[in-house]
């Protein structure tokens, strides 16, 4: 009896009241109180990044349309700059935009397809010179593309005499040049993702009589769709905003891309007068890139993380 009574009496005293999280870990409470400056720094960085965008939007809708009259918050808003941009015969913005979309879409699609074929060969096949080829592709990325501009210009100047449709001052010729950069960094990114696909799937398909082409088109491309979308997005943005090579190849006004056309509006004696049109055109050029990114953002995140980790 004495033992039971003692255990019953001592049981309530053994239960200690719960302690608060702040009392248990005062260091966490102190660190949590100092997080405010990080949020403040993030807000300042966000405002700093959004300032040029806000200035561009205000300049596009400012009816004055000049650089001297540009304000962060204009006194009035109007679509005058957009109307002038689309109705200027000397500066065919619609044609420039179509050329850029055509070059970017064809070039990005070709780069993804060529890169995927090369990545599949490097990932699934074992042949002599495989490692040397991968290292060579990596080494070529260290040389700037500007070194090839003179050679490309001379080459396509000769092509213009034989096949004018693919020579200088043509959109198809510029797209053909862009396809030459397909065997670049995209191959490494695609190969890293292809390596994550189990090889047992290839072996099972071969048992059923499937060839490499059928495995590639019916299995691998479907399983690696996130990295294909990611590569297409990266290539599309790069080609859509490319300026140096396009300014060398395209001299005719009707064959220029939107980057070259807008640049011609930002230089010279009329740069001040055309600033409103320039801002309106730059704002319109951001729409397809933002729209594509928002549409495929899940695939982009998955493709980049999986491919880079592998």
Cβ distance 85 to 96 under 8 Å? Answer: no
pLDDT of residue 303: 53
pLDDT of residue 100: 92
From residue 307, give the alpha-carbon distance in Å to each of 75, 122, 227: 49, 15, 7
For tokens 């990545």, the residue is 119
The CA-CA-CA angle for residues 168, 172, 176, to 5°, reads: 90
- Which carries the bigger pLDDT value, residue 137 or residue 114? 114
Residue range 194-216: average pLDDT? 87
Identify the band that residue 227 occupies on the pLDDT scale cut at 50, 70 and 90. confident
Residue 141 confidence (pLDDT) above 90: no
Cβ distance 288 to 240 under 8 Å? Answer: yes
User: What percent of the chain has pLDDT above 90?
Assistant: 8
- Which carries the bigger pLDDT value, residue 106 or residue 76? 106
pLDDT of residue 64: 76
Residue range 77-95: average pLDDT? 88
Residue 22 confidence (pLDDT) above 70: no
pLDDT of residue 178: 87
Cβ distance 251 to 91 under 8 Å? Answer: no
User: Could you give the CA distance from residue 155 to residue 160 in angstroms, rounded to a whole number?
Assistant: 9
Residue 97 confidence (pLDDT) above 90: yes
Can you give the pTM of this predicted structure? 0.76
**pLDDT tens per residue across span 1-15:** 444 444 444 444 445
Averaged pLDDT of the chain:
80
**Which of 246, 236, 221 minimizes the C-alpha distance to 291?**
236
Residue 114 confidence (pLDDT) above 80: yes
pLDDT of residue 101: 92
Residue range 4-33: average pLDDT? 49
Residue 296 confidence (pLDDT) above 70: yes
Question: SS in 3 state form for 102-166?
Answer: HHHHHHHHHHHHHHHHHHHHHHHCCCCCHHHHHHHHHHHCCCCHHHHHHHHHHHHHHHHHHCHHH
Out of 32-46, 236-250, 255-269, least confident range: 32-46
Highest average pLDDT, of 15-24, 157-166, 262-271, comes from: 157-166
pLDDT of residue 26: 52
pLDDT of residue 307: 47
Which domains, from first to last, does the chain contain?
Answer: 20-81 (no CATH), 93-309 (1.10.3720.10)
Cβ distance 74 to 58 under 8 Å? Answer: yes
């Amino acid at each position: 009896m004495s033992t039971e009574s003692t255990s019953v009496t001592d049981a309530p005293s053994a239960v200690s009241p719960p302690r608060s999280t702040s009392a248990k870990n005062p260091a966490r409470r102190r660190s949590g109180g100092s997080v405010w400056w990080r949020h403040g720094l993030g807000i300042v960085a966000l405002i700093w990044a959004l300032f040029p965008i806000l200035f561009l939007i205000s300049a596009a809708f400012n009816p004055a349309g000049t650089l001297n009259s540009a304000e962060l918050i204009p006194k009035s808003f109007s679509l005058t700059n957009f109307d002038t941009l689309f109705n200027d015969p000397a500066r065919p913005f619609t044609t420039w935009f179509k050329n850029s979309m055509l070059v970017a879409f064809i070039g990005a699609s070709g780069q993804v397809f060529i890169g995927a074929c090369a990545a599949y060969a490097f990932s699934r096949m074992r042949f002599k010179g495989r490692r040397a080829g991968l290292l060579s592709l990596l080494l070529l990325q260290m040389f700037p593309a500007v070194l090839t501009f003179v050679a490309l210009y001379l080459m396509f100047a000769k092509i213009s005499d034989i096949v004018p449709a693919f020579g200088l001052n043509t959109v198809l010729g510029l797209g053909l040049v862009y396809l030459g950069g397909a065997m670049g960094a995209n191959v490494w990114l695609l190969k890293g993702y292809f390596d994550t696909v189990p090889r047992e799937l290839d072996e099972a398909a071969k048992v059923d009589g499937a060839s490499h082409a059928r495995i590639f088109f019916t299995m691998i491309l479907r399983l690696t769709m996130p990295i294909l979308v990611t590569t297409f997005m990266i290539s599309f943005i790069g080609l859509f905003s490319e300026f140096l090579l396009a300014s060398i190849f395209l001299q005719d006004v009707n064959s220029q891309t939107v980057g070259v056309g807008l640049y011609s509006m930002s230089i010279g004696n009329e740069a001040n007068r055309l600033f409103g049109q320039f801002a309106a055109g730059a704002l319109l050029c951001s729409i397809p890139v933002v729209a594509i990114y928002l549409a495929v953002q899940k695939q982009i995140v998955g493709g980049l993380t999986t491919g880079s980790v592998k």
